[in-house]
């Protein structure tokens, strides 16, 4: 149940029941728990909904007509809002013309209205396995601002002329109107460009996709040459039934169609950011600062345990690129890439441009998803209020943009934590049926209180606490790479394949507890072939003192 508490004297509280749920299996309980923990709004106010309805009558204004240009959207099978569309042509010069058209949300969401205030309060849409908490009401996100096929839609277009070497030679940003020729999925597009399947799309669209794929490979190569990191890790994907229960968990497919769209969106974001900065306007940047040298040193020591090094290159980014290439195909590739990710700083929004380390970009912003991200909406407003980079003064003071950037970074973090908590709730409920069952798993994290293990069939993580390891004096090394038994000389190390048993599942605490059974190469934990570093942390679990 949901309870409101009011403190009385000392440790006494007065409680008032706000809402009662019939059981832990109630479909609304998980959402209530996550919403209560993170405090994001779900329902829109009547004023915001009224603003959204009124927005339908907006005058289109002066726009470039691109309705005769073959344009398509490419999204996932279950996507409901389509905020980006692409069009590609080959010019007589041998250069490419790429148009990235983005839903013109700024045309419908007027600054200072109730609708705008609620969008700012949300900051971003939140995506759960079985639903979405949108930043904008459905009448906008799934209709007016969604680039549905065969319907005229208002957009902002970033048009770029790109050389065969992947360099942007010219770029233009302008208000436009498009009519998407098709709503394509990643699966369909991959079948066309990777498997060369015929008859899935019209010939004109097939030609566009083949040309787009050709350009995306050029753009990707150019981005790598200037310092972009390919941190492409597959993610777990849940399939749920009508009650919100997990039916299965597998790795999400990521094909060339996903990469193609990502390549073009990155390119458009860079072009817009550079254009705004060149015009001398204040803006909201997407920044990713250089990593902390101490964390890079730790990374070197960690990957050394698997026989990998950060080769001495001209600069750090080249060393990291070489490292990522060297771990491709390794049985612990995921762990090795995650180790690199943990050494990098988190990207965030800022009114000060610090560049984007991970993309190798000197100037980067978010322009391509204004339906679901408030910073993108602000970038659209900067373009619109500056008459598309023609006015002499910056539309917004840097102080205001800095305040918005910080709030949006916080909203993004809140959404990430809420999404993670919801996934954990789903996974814990799923694992209840497996208490007492055994699985193969891989050690993903080592801590002084035990080690986390990901079970391989379901990509679900749980903890083996010290108390459920073989009786010993356990110690961790300085880098938290392994747990080492002083008496037995056995160890559990990052990347070890082991056999575990599901010992306990606590839905209220969202905890899954495993019991260690054996290493997969034998019935006992493998003996360490080296002593851990001299700086050790010692832990003991004595069952007799329980």
pLDDT digits 0-9 by tens, 265-310: 999 999 999 999 999 999 999 999 999 999 999 999 889 888 899 9
What are 97-142's pLDDT values in tens digits? Answer: 999 999 999 999 999 999 999 999 999 999 999 899 999 999 999 9
Q: How far apart are CA 515 and CA 37, in angstroms?
A: 30
Cβ 365 vs Cβ 272: under 8 Å = yes
Domain ranges (residues) in the chain: 60-283+354-404, 291-344, 435-545
Mean pLDDT (whole number) for 227-241: 84
Name, in order, each residue with C-beta under 8 angstroms of 175's C-beta and a sequence gap of 6 or more.
61, 62, 63, 64, 104, 107, 154, 155, 156, 157, 384, 388
Using one digit for the tens of pLDDT, what is the confidence trace for 445-459? 999 899 999 998 778
Predicted pLDDT of residue 479: 81
Q: Is a pLDDT exceeding 70 seen at residue 77? A: yes
Average pLDDT for residues 58-87, to the nearest whole number?
93
pLDDT tens profile 337-359: 989 999 999 999 999 999 999 99
The answer to whether 291 touches 316, Cβ cutoff 8 Å, is yes
* Residue closest to 441 by CA, chosen among 376, 388, 494, 375: 494
21 vs 72, residue with greater confidence: 72
Residue 513: phi and psi, rounded to 5, are: -110, 130
Residue 346: CB atoms within 10 Å: 10
Using DSSP, state whether 337 is helix, strand or coil. Answer: helix
d(CA 353, CA 361): 11
HSE (side-chain half, CA atoms, 13 Å) at 261: 23
Lowest mean pLDDT among 37-41, 222-226, 480-484, 512-516: 480-484
pLDDT band of 543, cuts 50, 70, 90: very low
CATH node for 435-545 = 2.40.50.140
| Confidence (pLDDT) at 382 | 98
Percentage of the chain beyond pLDDT 70 is 92
Query: Residue 535 above 60 pLDDT?
Result: no
pLDDT at residue 488 in the model: 80
Query: Mean pLDDT over all residues of the chain?
Result: 90
What percentage of the chain's residues is helix, strand, coil (to nearest 5)?
35, 25, 40
pLDDT of residue 522: 54
d(CA 4, CA 7) in angstroms, rounded, equals 10
Is the pLDDT higher at 328 or at 174?
174
pLDDT of residue 441: 94
pLDDT score, position 4? 65
> Is the per-residue pLDDT at 5 higher than 70?
no
User: Using CA atoms, how far apart are residues 77 and 339, in angstroms rounded to an integer?
Assistant: 32
The DSSP code sequence of 351-364 is SS---BTTTTBSS-
Q: Which of 427-436, 518-527, 531-540 has the lowest mean pLDDT?
A: 531-540
Encode pLDDT of 379-431 as tens digits: 999 999 999 999 999 999 999 999 999 999 999 999 999 999 999 999 999 99
Nearest partner of 127 among 415, 526, 340, 369, judged by Cα: 415
Is the pTM value of this prediction over 0.85? yes
Say how many C-beta atoms besides its own lie within 10 A of residue 447's C-beta: 15
Tell me: pLDDT of 8 over 70: no
pLDDT at 539: 43
């Amino acid at each position: 149940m949901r309870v409101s508490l009011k403190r009385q004297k000392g440790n006494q509280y007065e409680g008032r029941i706000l809402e009662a749920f019939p059981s832990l299996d109630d479909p609304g309980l998980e959402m209530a728990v996550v919403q209560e923990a993170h405090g994001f709004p779900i329902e829109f106010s009547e004023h915001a909904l009224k603003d959204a309805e009124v927005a339908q009558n907006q005058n289109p204004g002066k726009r470039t007509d691109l309705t005769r240009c073959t344009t398509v959207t490419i999204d996932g099978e279950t996507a409901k809002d389509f905020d980006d569309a692409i069009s590609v042509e080959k010019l007589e010069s041998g250069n490419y013309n790429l148009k990235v058209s983005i839903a013109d949300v700024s045309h419908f969401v007027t600054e200072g209205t109730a609708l705008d205030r609620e969008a700012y309060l949300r900051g971003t849409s939140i995506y759960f396995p079985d639903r979405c908490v949108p930043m904008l009401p459905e009448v906008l996100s799934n209709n007016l601002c969604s680039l549905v096929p065969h319907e005229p839609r208002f957009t902002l277009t970033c048009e770029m002329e790109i050389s065969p070497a992947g360099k942007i030679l010219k770029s233009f940003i302008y208000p436009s109107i498009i009519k998407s020729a098709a709503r394509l999925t990643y699966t369909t597009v991959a079948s066309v460009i990777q498997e060369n399947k015929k008859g899935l799309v019209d010939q004109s669209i097939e030609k566009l996709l083949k040309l787009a794929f050709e350009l995306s490979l050029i753009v990707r190569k150019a981005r790598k040459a200037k310092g972009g990191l390919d941190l492409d890790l597959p993610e777990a994907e849940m399939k749920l039934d009508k009650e919100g229960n997990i039916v299965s968990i597998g790795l999400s497919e990521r094909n060339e169609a996903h990469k193609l769209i990502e390549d073009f969106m990155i390119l458009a974001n860079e072009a817009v950011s550079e254009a705004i900065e060149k015009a001398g306007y204040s803006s909201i940047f997407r920044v990713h600062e250089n990593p902390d040298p101490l964390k890079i040193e730790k990374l070197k020591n960690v990957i050394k345990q698997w026989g990998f090094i950060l080769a001495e290159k001209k600069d750090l980014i080249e060393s990291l690129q070489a490292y990522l290439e060297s771990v491709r195909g390794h049985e612990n590739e995921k762990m090795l890439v995650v180790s690199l990710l943990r050494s990098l700083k988190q990207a965030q929004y800022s009114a000060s441009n610090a560049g984007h380390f991970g993309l190798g970009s000197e100037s980067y912003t978010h322009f391509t998803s204004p339906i679901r991200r408030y910073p993108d909406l602000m970038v659209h407003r900067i373009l619109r209020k500056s008459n598309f980079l023609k006015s002499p003064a910056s539309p917004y003071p840097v102080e205001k943009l800095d305040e918005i950037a910080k709030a949006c970074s916080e909203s993004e973090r809140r959404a990430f934590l809420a999404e993670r908590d919801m996934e954990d709730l789903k996974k814990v409920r799923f694992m209840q049926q497996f208490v007492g069952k055994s699985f193969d798993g891989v050690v993903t994290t080592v801590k002084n209180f035990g080690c986390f293990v990901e079970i391989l069939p379901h990509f679900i993580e749980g903890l083996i606490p010290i108390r459920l390891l073989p009786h010993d004096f356990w110690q961790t090394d300085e880098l938290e790479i392994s747990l080492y038994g002083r008496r037995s000389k056995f160890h559990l190390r990052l990347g070890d394949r082991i056999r575990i048993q599901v010992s306990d599942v606590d839905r209220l605490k969202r905890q899954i507890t495993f019991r260690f059974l054996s290493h997969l190469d034998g019935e006992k934990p493998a003996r360490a072939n080296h002593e851990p570093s001299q700086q050790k942390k010692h832990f003991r679990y004595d069952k007799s003192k329980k």
